[in-house]
Amino acid sequence: MGGWVEGDPVGDRVFLDLPAFSLQRGGLLPSVRVAYETWGTLAPGGANAVLVEHALTGDSHVVGPAGDGHATPGWWQGLIGPGAPLDTNRFFVVCANVLGGCQGTTGPSSRAPDDGPWGSRFPEVTVGDQVRVEAALADALGIHRWACVIGGSMGGMRALEWAVAMPDRVATLFFLASGAVATADQLGTQTTQQTAIRTDPRWAGGDYPLDDPPVDGLGVARRIAHLTYRSAFELGERFGTAVQDDGRFAVASYLDHHADKLARRFDAGSYVVLTETMNSWDVGRGRGGVEAALGRVTARALVAGVDSDRLYPLELQQQVADALGVPLHVIASPYGHDGFLIETEAVGELLRGLLAG
């Protein structure tokens, strides 16, 4: 139950330990452990390295089977491998679990210096902090400039932050199904999800035992979130008003399934920390606004969105595309926001074009 903890099977993870790390909002972590996975072979000088950025409940396991250490198969199957859009005969692909996460990188369920979990003591983390941790990982791997940084949803935030904060380290950018700044709608749904977790009696102010986490609150949060990830059209076509033999609406049973599935592999404290990170996202903060910040990007960029996405609607990607002076690519999908994960053929075609350019 919950995320990966020390002592669990490692699976395909590799770890890097970093020294004391100062955070943008004033916090300090005495050390940071980063869990990551790689595919392919790094070329001399590191010029063939690609960074894939995962979304909120993703992790470093982009592709590969479920098994010891990995509760689920890779979340973007078909994207990486020989002959795939990220062709491992050509590219060295890296994905790291994000700072504040719960799949091997330091987060609320990680051990603090007193050997107990960080819990409520875990400091506030920004997208900028997460990218600086990834930059330290890149340095350790000998990667000075990414051939491409790719991300959708929360991963798109980090991809864009890379291109703005360290433009000389990003050759190409694939920005997908995300935005340059959190919207009121996103703030509303994400703070409601946090409330669901915090009002679970097991939450205990964020200092719950890891073997008795607030799974009920996390499950409600996941149900709320999943409704924003899918489109009304798809839910209607797939479930309608059907009632199962057990008396539950079919759509409610579907949401129950996803709530239970997440509770088995994710930590509630990380869910709160990472949604707070998303709530604070604004690429233009301290940089003169969004347009001025995006004016710093030198990477050759591709911006794409999903036509049925109601969480990150197309106008958010259009804002980024316009500021970067590139066209917006629209992926047709009935699946809503999750279309960026499901429509792998369409995403792969765009990625191949970007990397061939």
If asked whether residues 39 and 141 sit together in one domain, one would say yes
Task: Please work out, in degrees rounded to the nearest 5, the angle formed at the alpha carbon of residue 211 by the alpha carbons of 205 and 215.
Answer: 60
> Which H or E run includes 97?
none
Tokens 């070329």 found at: 43
- Enclosing domain of residue 265: 186-277
If asked whether residues 349 and 259 sit together in one domain, one would say no
Q: Is residue 7 situated within a structural domain?
A: no
- Paired with 80 in beta bridges are 86
CATH number for position 230: 1.10.1740.110
Q: Which of 102, 263, 105 is nearest to 196 (CA)?
A: 263
315-350 pLDDT tens trace? 999 999 999 999 999 999 999 999 999 999 999 999
Q: What is residue 144's three-state secondary structure?
A: coil
231-260 pLDDT tens trace? 999 999 999 999 999 999 999 999 999 999
Annotated catalytic sites, by residue? 153, 309, 337
73-86 pLDDT tens trace? 999 999 999 999 99
Q: Is residue 215 situated within a structural domain?
A: yes
If asked whether residues 178 and 119 sit together in one domain, one would say yes
Percent of the chain with pLDDT over 70: 100
Q: Is residue 84 situated within a structural domain?
A: yes
Sign of the C-alpha dihedral computed for residues 130, 214, 59 and 257 taken in this order: negative
Q: Tell me, what's the pLDDT at 40?
A: 98
If asked whether residues 256 and 297 sit together in one domain, one would say no
Q: Is residue 147 situated within a structural domain?
A: yes
If asked whether residues 114 and 258 sit together in one domain, one would say no
Q: Tell me, what's the pLDDT at 341?
A: 98
Q: Predicted confidence band at 154 (pLDDT cuts at 50, 70, 90)? A: very high
Q: Which pTM does this prediction carry?
A: 0.97
Q: Which two tokens stand for residue 351?
A: 């990625």
